[in-house]
Chains A and B, each alone.
Chain A
Amino acid sequence: MFPLLTLPRRPRSAYNPDRLASDLIKTQVRHAQGVEERLPRAQQSGMAINLDTLTEGQAAVYLEHITRISHPAGAPKAPPPAKPRRRPKPTRRPKPTRRAKATRRPAMRRPLSRRAKIRGSSRRKRARRARRSRG
């Protein structure tokens, strides 16, 4: 592979579609108007062009209309269809390695007295429910 040229940075601040059109662009528009005159009415742009105040952005809109009719193949290619979005897979925790297992902190366990109390309390609730259902 041959080396390629490194392109200078784009001068973004230069962008000015409101710049008045040069004689060159005005000529291009005049030529396009000549083309438009020969088009069927349905294809005409209906745009009123004032060459004295024409900006580059306005000229571009008009030229695009005429060029699209003369050369439809020049339309920007549609971007490739977007791939259907997959539902993100649930994230799994990586399996702990042996080393990780060894150093893993033991799960926090409630104090025994508290566990017993809770366990006892649920037993009592179940017993109460059973009595109610019987009665």
Chain B
Amino acid sequence: MATGLDQLKHIVVLMMENRSFDHMLGALRATNSAIDGFPDDWTNPDPTGAAVKVQPLAASRGQLTPDPDHHFPAVDKQIFNGDTSATRQATMQGFVRSFYDQQQDIAHASQILYYFTPSQLPILTQLAQQFVVFNRWFASIPGPTICNRAFAHYGTSFGSVSMDMIFLGKGQSLYQRLLAGGHTTKLYYFDQASSTMEVANLLQNQPQIFGTYQDFLDACTNGQLPDYSFVEPNYSDHAGPTGELLASDQHPDHDVIEGERFIGSIYNAIRNNATLWASTALLIVYDEHGGIFDHVPPPDCTPDGYTADGTATGTGQPFAFNRLGVRVPAILVSPWVAKGVDNRTFEHASIPATVTNFFLKTYDQTNTDRTPREKAATTFLDLLTLDTMRTDV
């Protein structure tokens, strides 16, 4: 086993909201050709057929209103540009047309092809330049938040492609597996007013696995971080005990800079404890693309045994969970990884797959609840390949 893996005691996953790979990291290709950002001449047609070009004009807030549609039918249009034929190909040419559907304004719809320059996102850029960028990390479903986040918690969405999923008693969460295996784990939400996206599922049934952002910071300081931590950002602007609290999830139209600050604070909390830094792998990943452009067609994947019917998908066509969603930013941070990129295909089921394989090596010998999808998902800890810990970061 590599030295880094020998040292590894903690895995932390920070899942942000609704931004695509090309929108956030695509411009890094200009300085590092290994990062698979959009080609310079990438375009999408507007409703008249005219080509709209990608532009470095993304603003930290104020452009993506209304919230770009990212429910199943809209994402289907973004990927296939409205083609519903049996022989259709994923072209990633339908983003402008999909955003146009919401306001019938071509100039407004063109903003869906705006991207950030590296200097606008100093935190994400520094982490991407110093650690591992996943060139092929896709959302698990071409759809919205809740069903995608479910793949991170359960390795499946139990057949849902929507936001309305209550899956009490349908399967074991990753947290239950870990606790049953004698491991420690926490799902950290920001505060009670922001709450968690698992309010109806895990929170009311397993409150003991929850903590707050402040608890996370304290655990890092005190060296009491659990084996596995999942961190949620602040989902809303609201008043807190210390004053005004800004949403840090980067969900449009929340200011991306506050999200940058949040990502940086998670990194700093781990980094500031030398023992923790040496024994922790931090994955920063986004739940889905939020309707924003990306140029890489999502690949096929191992089905998870469920099918959503044509009514549930909203397209009239069933979906067999055999194709991934749009590509999202993902970065693995650890002093045991070499800086660079990884070109294998990952998705959110890679999270429970990785954590289970690492902490519960013999899980499948006594349990049958993991889906074929999760079992087939690529894991990422083999990136901790260095024999000596990096001191240059």
Residues of A within 8 A of B (CB): 1-2, 4-12, 14-17, 19, 21-25, 27-28, 30-32, 34-35, 38, 56-57, 59-61, 63-64, 66-68, 70-71, 73-77
Contacts and interface: CB of A to CB of B under 8 A. Distances in A.
Interface string B11-24: 00000011000000
Question: Which 5 A-B pairs rank lowest in CB-CB distance, beginning with the nearest?
Answer: A60-B238, A31-B200, A60-B193, A14-B255, A56-B236
B203 A57 contact: no
A67 B203 contact: yes
Nearest to A22: B67
Interface of B: 17-18, 60-61, 67, 122-123, 126, 144-146, 163-164, 166, 189, 191-197, 199-200, 203-204, 207, 210-212, 214-215, 235-241, 244, 246-247, 251-255, 257-258, 260-261, 264-265, 267-268, 271-272, 274, 277, 393
A109 B381 CA distance: 88
B236 A7 contact: no
A2 B391 CA distance: 8
Given A23-B144, A63-B193, A73-B207, A17 B236 contact: yes
A77 to B, nearest CB: 7
B246 A28 contact: no
A5 B257 contact: no
Given A8-B260, A63-B192, A71-B192, A28 B207 contact: no
A61 B195 CA distance: 10
Contacts of A66: 195, 199
B268 A76 contact: no
Contact of B199 (A2, A8, A28): A28
A17 B237 contact: yes
Query: Which interface residue of A14, A15, A35, A64 has the most chain B CB atoms within 10 A?
Result: A14
Contacts of A28: 195, 197, 199, 235
Contacts of A19: 237, 253
A51 to B, nearest CB: 13
A91 B254 CA distance: 52
A58 B61 CA distance: 21
14 contacts: A7-B260, A9-B257, A14-B246, A17-B239, A28-B197, A28-B235, A31-B199, A38-B204, A63-B192, A63-B193, A64-B193, A67-B203, A71-B207, A74-B212
